[in-house]
Amino acid sequence: MVVTGLGAVTPLGNTRDEFWRNLVAGRSGVGPVTSFDPRDLDTKIVAAVKGFDSDTLIGRREARRMDRYTQFAFVAAREAFEDAKFPVNDRETLDLTGVVLGTGIGGISTLEDQVTKARQLGTVGRISPFFVPMLMANAGPAQISMAYKLRGPLFAVSSACASANDGIAIAYDNVARGACRAVVTGGSESAVNDVAMGGFDSMKALSKRNAEPEKASRPFDRERDGFVLAEGGGILILEELEFAKARGARIYAEMLGYGQSADAYNLVAVDPTGGGVELALRRSLAYSGLEAEDVSYINAHGTSTPIGDPAESKAIASVFGDAVSTVAVSSTKSMHGHALGGAGGIEGVATVLAVYHDIMPPTINYEFPDPECTLDYVPNVARRATVEVALSNSFGFGGHNCVLVFRKYRE
């Protein structure tokens, strides 16, 4: 199984290359909320996608029939197809190409817009006929499938902030069992609106570092005070190796496998012992036939929350034992924030590029070491080093844990 194409729409840039350049440069995509008035919220900062003109990128008529989450997925998928030089005119291949997309919430912006409209008009009789098709969580993968006439397995995965990683894992299974030659996979989310942000704000889950937005997301740092809500999407083209080689595709990395588990602990709080995360990490290595010392880099879930970061650190330290001194761990959420169900797609792109370019993105805003977080977090500056094997961690409300495994491709 290999990755041949990548696409990204993120707070750090609306193309794969722009995203990667800003990631390696250690830039922050966090700033003040501008899409609505946050005066009633304690948190007034967000990592929003900027300069995204859907009418230009998609076309006015089609864009107006897509929720913003779907728009991100659609544009990122197009970039990934172009990057992969995928044979979009080969009917047999398209019949064996699927789409599996993760999203935690789906079309919540459409839901808010239409509920607001109904209340303003005093009737539900004027709700848009496109309301349901735009709201559906499966609208994103469906739009991609229709645009490219892909007739392989098609569905959405929703497991909170682990959605994209779980989607990529299912995509892997579909190629492994021969149901597909290729799968378009990843995740997308757009929940930067007053209702969604208000919900997280009332949970006291968000950072309140409003005066210094660019320093608000600080995973593993002692002064962290919550995550920064983000939006965006990341798409990977996953192909069967022999098919990719036969068509002369450029290969970014192999995908070796994945590990999944449940915390079975709490609906919204991570198990502070890191027990569920530890299981997912161990299962990912076992599935992939690897030992801990084989791993070079981990793109951590690292959300910048007081409980989550130490739990993840404990789990990594337990699994890697003596080898923990040789593995680097960083959280790119320090730069692009937390895009919920889309996070694993964005971070999957980042992890594959780290393997391909032999560059470990940094954890920015790492200023004050936390005695509960004692790993090598690639502080503040990207690191050039051979990345032979990399893991990408994603964990979600409900206790969902999923770890993906990528390895440098060699003939």
Q: In the chain, where are the structural domains located?
A: 2-246, 257-407
What residues are labeled active site? 161, 301, 338
Q: Tell me, what's the pLDDT at 411?
A: 84
Helices (H), 39-185: 54-58, 60-63, 68-84, 91-95, 108-121, 131-135, 139-148, 163-176
Report residue 34 as tokens: 């501008």
| Residue 149 one-letter amino acid | K
Please choose, from the candidates 273, 174, 238, the residue with its C-alpha nearest in 3D space to the C-alpha of residue 405: 238
Strand partners of residue 390? 297, 406
pLDDT at 58: 98
pLDDT of residue 260: 98
Question: Using DSSP, how many helices (H) and how many strands (E) does the chain show?
Answer: 15, 14
Is residue 404 within 8 Å of residue 351, measured between CB atoms?
yes
Q: pLDDT tens-digit profile of 311-350?
A: 999 999 999 999 999 999 999 999 999 999 999 999 999 9
Mean pLDDT of 351-371: 98
What pLDDT was estimated at residue 107?
Answer: 95
Q: pLDDT tens across 95-147, in order?
A: 999 999 999 999 999 999 999 999 999 999 889 999 999 999 999 999 999 99
* pLDDT tens-place string over residues 29-67: 999 999 999 999 999 999 999 999 999 999 999 999 999
The answer, yes or no, to whether residue 364 has pLDDT greater than 90, is yes
Question: What pLDDT score was predicted for residue 15?
Answer: 98
Q: CA nearest 92: which of 181, 168, 154, 161?
A: 181
Q: For residue 35, how many other CB atoms are within 10 A of its CB?
A: 14
3 state DSSP class of 355: helix
Element (DSSP H or E) covering residue 395:
strand 389-396
Taking residue 124's Cβ as centre, other Cβ atoms within 10 Å add up to 12
Instruction: Give the pLDDT confidence of 198-216 residue by residue, as tens digits.
Output: 999 999 999 999 999 999 9
Q: Quick one: pLDDT band at residue 373, thresholds 50, 70, 90? A: very high
What is the dotted CATH code of the domain comprising 2-246?
Answer: 3.40.47.10
The distance in angstroms from the start CA to the end CA of the chain is 13
Angle formed at CA 168 by CA 163 and CA 172, multiple of 5 degrees: 145
Query: 293-328 in b/e burial notation, b at 16+ Cβ within 10 A?
Result: ebbbbbbbbbbbbeebbbbbbbbbbbbbeeebeebb
> How many CB atoms sit inside 10 A of residue 341's CB?
33
Output the six-digit token pair for 170: 């299912």
Phi, psi of 176 (to 5 degrees): -60, -35
162-166, 225-229, 267-271, 357-361: lowest mean pLDDT where? Answer: 267-271
pLDDT band at 298 (very low <50, low <70, confident <90, very high): very high
Write the class of the CATH domain 257-407: alpha beta
Do 257-407 and 2-246 fall under one CATH topology?
Answer: yes
The number of residues making up the chain comes to 411
What separation in angstroms does the CA of 357 have from each of 28, 100, 251, 253? Answer: 21, 26, 12, 10
Using an 8 Å Cβ cutoff, are 30 and 365 in contact?
no
